[in-house]
Structure 1
Amino acid sequence: MKKKLLLINPAQSKKPNLANLITIPSSSLGYLAALTPPGWDIKIMDENIENLTFEEADLVAITTYTCNAPRAYEVSEIYRRKGIKTVIGGVHVSMLPDEAAQYVDTVVIGEAESVWGTVLKDFEKNEMKKRYTSELISLENQVYPRTDLYSWKYKLFTVETSRGCPNDCEFCTVGLFNGHKYRQRPVEDVLDELEKLPRKFFMFSDNNILGHGKKAEERAIRLFKGMVDRGIKKRWGCYVGVDFANNPEVLKYAKKAGCSSVFIGFESLNEESLKEIQKTRNLKIGVNHYKDVVQKIHDNGIGLIIGSFVMGNDNDYPDIFQRTTDFILESKIDTAQLSILNPFPGTRLFKRLEKEGRLLCKKYPHDWQYLDFTKVLYKPKNMTPDQLREGVAQVYRDTSSRLISLKRAITSYKDTKDLLGAIIAYFGNRSSGDLWRKVSGAVELEN
């Protein structure tokens, strides 16, 4: 009789939150499912799209990020009371394994793939350890996620072509978790996976599809050309930096390969803030040339530009909100994602703010749920928490009303002739603005 394995992605909460705006599967759970030997009956459950029924299992593995950590611990404790062993992994618990160990049987630190087989063997021998520390794996001959186990409710699937980041930004956990060595999958391997992907829409989940350096950019172009040559007819999006528009060949072949949206990290319109968060690519392009970046991407027919902005850096003053509003409307980016700077555990930002006595959160793990980019969880340097929260809300009000969203969508269609992109932009603006107003209120921190 096969043993039953539940792979669970807990929700941040049952209340509306930005994570539910576009729900995508947890690729880490898909990879673990692919690495699980045949003697297991596997089920992937995502609380963001379905209720957990806490069904019987032999082993439960849970993935975490910071804002769902309290719920992950709660889920683990429910199963443990039923006598079922639990394993937990992910970025958050890799930063705080001692915290996680209070609520689970086993903690996996780092990328779980390299130790997953050992975890299962030890479980079968009833010798599962309290902690496993993984090594960074080569992405050569990487298994494909078990997409057959994903729910039909997901709007998008994801494909990963690289991991790691050589940069060391103060606020970021990518290098801490995935390492500072930039690792890439072979292009042919990625193309093979894309041919098998059972969806017409997907997202490259890499932090930057162009990677780092000229060779990585050339690899991205080979990938795009390979998609064209193999006749892979899918629409897709990706995360990019502001240098995405530097090379006309990148834009040309990305569009030919089916690129219909880019999530681009403008980060800030304040050059002092860009220096603060060490965004050298953005500084090299220059804030004054951001509009040119948007124009070049639209000129190549890529119809959905999602601009990302982080608010609340130490060099931000209240005028940053109006400047951001003006840029969003004047640059013709199709939709914007505004995030309040969040101090994640393990980062230098968290340690600095803690040392300076500026953190507003004091009760952990309870308060981790608030790190969802919509809450002010520290004392800003040049404005009050209320000014920061209300400033971001005002940008959303000024850029996502029904009339303004419609005007922006019409402009997008005129510029790119991408009707689907314009429709997505309209509903994206309306949804993100409405949801922000629901979730971004002041937090009653339990100090």
Structure 2
Amino acid sequence: MPTNSILVNFNGCPSSLDSLMPDNGLANLAGSLLESGHHTIIMDFCTVNIIRRMIPEELQIDLEEIYNESIKVLVSGGQFTKSMLDHLVALDKRLEQSKSLELPKIAEEIINQALNIDADFIGFKLWTGEGFEGSVKIAEIIKSRLPEVKIIAGGPHVDWFMKNIFNYTDIFDILVYGEGEEVIKLIANYVKGNQSLDEIPNIIYKKNGNIYKTPKQILPDLNILADPIYDEKIYPAIVGDQKIKFIMIDESRGCPNQCYFCIHPQKSGNRWRIRDYERIVDLIEKLSRELNTSIFRLSGSNTPPDLRRDISNELIKRNLGISYAGFGHVRSDEDYDLLKLSGCVSLAFGVESGSQKILDQDINKRVKVDQIIRALTGCKRAGILAVASIIAPCPHDTEETLKETLDLLIQTRPDAVTIQLPGLTPNAFWYEHKEQFGFELDADCMERSMLYKIKLLLPPMMWEKLPYKINGKSSHELTKMAQDLSSELEKHGILTGIGDFLLLISNSMKIPALEMRNINRRMFFTGDFNTIQNMVLSFNDLTKRLNRG
């Protein structure tokens, strides 16, 4: 018997152009449900319009004023005055209040849709921080009005925190971890009384006060995946330039690496699983035609080099005129000239550190510094924009090892560098062996990690403290080390704070990367709805497939 469902994407107020991309995960789930005869609709609240709703004009004016003041201070090399910091804190409180006022309205929209289609279940994609806390509040309102409707949750937050979510809230009837395309069809059977929960893999649920977790199951063959659905009747946020038409393609899953900080192998398996390259390009061609776009990203966290080569050859053969980004490999000698010819514009490399000692001791990357240098320089030589992703400081980083990272980046001069603090993800090797790496957890570490929000209005040194120390270093000390590295890179003319997504967007719009980074920061800091709307309109127009020949 077919079911009716709603799939919800809420991640707070969008904070960057790439946060306005369509959600390929929910599009995949919709494809699975429709293929099995069920009915569903995607309600995606990561849109241009939600920015206008959450940041009213009077608040936007005040944010614009403090942003301009802050830029003057930063450019002059000065320090924020106490009055400026107090003003920022006050504006942050106003912004939080404004955002919170939208949550009941969002819940009401979902309730009305659920009543309209007689929904059997509602599925939330859970993100960390603002997205998680907001989704819980929205779900609570829905449950109070529609107690008979099952509320399901999946997504990255579940993969990270698993059973711990039930220690914070029991608003969700079922949590889904790992891959959900097959699981959601079984859940649809369950809500109609045709399946028991203990027969469904990849779920966590409560029964009689106890928490149960069923075994993990991964798809053995990605070729059985249904195509993602972006049809405007199923995914109405696609209409009217509410989303930036930059489409993710699931070409591969799984990762044979065993990086100590990462949970990808636990989630997706430690071996590569791929779609046939012809099917991948078929999907790119189909979505390019249906959505009238020419911009894509291979979403696999570790695309096999042989698969990327075959995709590249097929793209060249079909002459589709598309541009794309993806993750690069630091351990393999790829044919970057071929990738460039096929439309590859930018690649993000997981460099993590420029110190061989740190790579071996803290990262387990199984890579040599010389290989990293060869990958970055080879990528750039072919004319592909190279992004180096760095973790700083790593647990055992010292001034000396951070200097080695700085030296490597100065030598290779990637087009951009992104710097992440050492995040502690439950179930990752770092977490399971926390003493080995010097992590000292606060008593309430798990709950604070679940609720941790990055306050983009405030200077990083004013962000909430991380709920752990690393080898005696507080979060403020860790943040300063990361900021110092960023400052040194900027002094050497190396751009920071922009990833491969924005580099591809800037390339497509013919806006210099530095200018794009600064525009992106300003318009999302200030909630400048009109500029954001115009940027999305311009991007979607410039990247129409008809404009690309």
Q: With the length of structure 2 as denominator, give the TM-score of the two structures.
A: 0.66
1:357-376 map, 5 Å: 358-360=440-442, 362=444, 364-370=446-452, 376=466
What is the aligned partner in structure 2 of residue 160 from structure 1?
250
Letter of the 1:78 counterpart: I
Greater shift, 230-239 or 381-390, is seen at 381-390
Instruction: Decide whether the 8 Å contact of 1:342 with 1:377 is kept in 2.
Output: no
Change (3 A) 1:184 1:361: farther
Change (3 A) 1:319 1:65: farther
Change (3 A) 1:419 1:350: closer
2:123 to 55, 58, 61: 61
State yes or no: 1:81 paired with 2:144.
yes
Greater shift, 418-427 or 383-392, is seen at 418-427
What is the aligned partner in structure 2 of residue 201 from structure 1?
295
Deviations 1:220-249 (A, max 9, x none): 2111101111122101001012135x24xx
Instruction: Decide whether the 8 Å contact of 2:330 with 2:371 is kept in 1.
Output: no
What is the aligned partner in structure 2 of residue 5 from structure 1?
5
Letter of the 1:89 counterpart: G
1:24-39 map, 5 Å: 24-37=21-34, 38-39=37-38
Name the CA distance, whole Å, in 1 between partners of 2:159 and 2:483: 33
Instruction: Decide whether the 8 Å contact of 2:415 with 2:495 is kept in 1.
Output: no
Letter of the 1:61 counterpart: G
Secondary structure of 2:394's aligned partner: coil
What is the aligned partner in structure 2 of residue 299 from structure 1?
381
Name the CA distance, whole Å, in 2 between partners of 1:127 and 1:8: 23
Structure 1 residue 96 displacement after superposition: 4.1
1:147 to 214, 222, 230: 230
Change (3 A) 1:159 1:126: same
Structure 1 residue 271 displacement after superposition: 1.3
What is the aligned partner in structure 1 of residue 426 from structure 2?
345
State yes or no: 1:313 paired with 2:312.
no
Secondary structure of 1:365's aligned partner: helix
Greater shift, 76-85 or 181-190, is seen at 76-85
Q: Which has the higher contact order (CA 8 A, sep 6+)?
A: 2
Instruction: Decide whether the 8 Å contact of 2:393 with 2:402 is kept in 1.
Output: no
Change (3 A) 1:96 1:382: closer
Instruction: Decide whether the 8 Å contact of 1:171 with 1:344 is kept in 2.
Output: yes
Instruction: Decide whether the 8 Å contact of 1:318 with 1:391 is kept in 2.
Output: no
What is the aligned partner in structure 1 of residue 61 from structure 2?
none
What is the aligned partner in structure 1 of residue 359 from structure 2?
274
Q: With the length of structure 1 as denominator, give the TM-score of the two structures.
A: 0.80
Name the CA distance, whole Å, in 2 between partners of 1:66 and 1:130: 27
What is the aligned partner in structure 1 of residue 69 from structure 2?
none
Structure 1 residue 69 displacement after superposition: 3.2
What is the aligned partner in structure 1 of residue 218 from structure 2?
136
Change (3 A) 1:30 1:141: same
Unaligned runs of 5+ in 1: 212-216, 410-417, 439-447
Counting helix residues as a fraction of each chain, which structure ranks higher?
2
What is the aligned partner in structure 1 of residue 182 from structure 2?
114
Structure 1 residue 332 displacement after superposition: 2.3
Structure 1 residue 434 displacement after superposition: 7.5
What is the aligned partner in structure 2 of residue 93 from structure 1?
158
Structure 1 residue 268 displacement after superposition: 0.3
State yes or no: 1:334 paired with 2:419.
no
Structure 1 residue 126 displacement after superposition: 8.7
Name the CA distance, whole Å, in 1 between partners of 2:401 and 2:358: 10
Secondary structure of 1:237's aligned partner: strand
Name the CA distance, whole Å, in 2 between partners of 1:41 and 1:8: 11
Instruction: Decide whether the 8 Å contact of 1:342 with 1:376 is kept in 2.
Output: no
What is the aligned partner in structure 2 of residue 124 from structure 1?
192
Letter of the 1:253 counterpart: L
Secondary structure of 2:182's aligned partner: helix
Structure 1 residue 125 displacement after superposition: 3.7
Name the CA distance, whole Å, in 2 between partners of 1:354 and 1:78: 41
Instruction: Decide whether the 8 Å contact of 2:250 with 2:300 is kept in 1.
Output: yes
Equivalenced residue count is: 411
Name the CA distance, whole Å, in 2 between partners of 1:98 and 1:314: 27
Identity %: 20
Change (3 A) 1:421 1:237: farther
Instruction: Decide whether the 8 Å contact of 2:159 with 2:177 is kept in 1.
Output: yes
Structure 1 residue 40 displacement after superposition: 1.9
Secondary structure of 2:222's aligned partner: coil
Deviations 1:124-169 (A, max 9, x none): 3497749942421121232111123253422521001111122322
Instruction: Decide whether the 8 Å contact of 2:489 with 2:495 is kept in 1.
Output: no
Instruction: Decide whether the 8 Å contact of 2:33 with 2:40 is kept in 1.
Output: no
Letter of the 2:297 counterpart: M
Instruction: Decide whether the 8 Å contact of 2:7 with 2:40 is kept in 1.
Output: no
Change (3 A) 1:376 1:78: same
Structure 1 residue 47 displacement after superposition: 3.5
Name the CA distance, whole Å, in 1 between partners of 2:21 and 2:341: 25
Q: Which has the larger radius of gyration?
A: 2
Change (3 A) 1:117 1:21: closer
Instruction: Decide whether the 8 Å contact of 2:255 with 2:302 is kept in 1.
Output: no
Instruction: Decide whether the 8 Å contact of 1:25 with 1:157 is kept in 2.
Output: yes
Secondary structure of 1:423's aligned partner: coil
Instruction: Decide whether the 8 Å contact of 2:263 with 2:428 is kept in 1.
Output: yes
What is the aligned partner in structure 1 of residue 307 from structure 2?
219
Name the CA distance, whole Å, in 2 between partners of 1:273 and 1:131: 43
Change (3 A) 1:394 1:433: farther
Name the CA distance, whole Å, in 2 between partners of 1:340 and 1:406: 18
Name the CA distance, whole Å, in 2 between partners of 1:113 and 1:105: 18
Name the CA distance, whole Å, in 2 between partners of 1:368 and 1:224: 39
1:406-421 map, 5 Å: none
Instruction: Decide whether the 8 Å contact of 2:152 with 2:173 is kept in 1.
Output: yes
What is the aligned partner in structure 2 of residue 40 from structure 1?
39
Q: Indicate the RMSD between aligned Cα atoms, in angstroms.
A: 3.6
Name the CA distance, whole Å, in 2 between partners of 1:184 and 1:436: 36
Name the CA distance, whole Å, in 1 between partners of 2:44 and 2:365: 39
Change (3 A) 1:224 1:395: same
Name the CA distance, whole Å, in 2 between partners of 1:128 and 1:20: 42
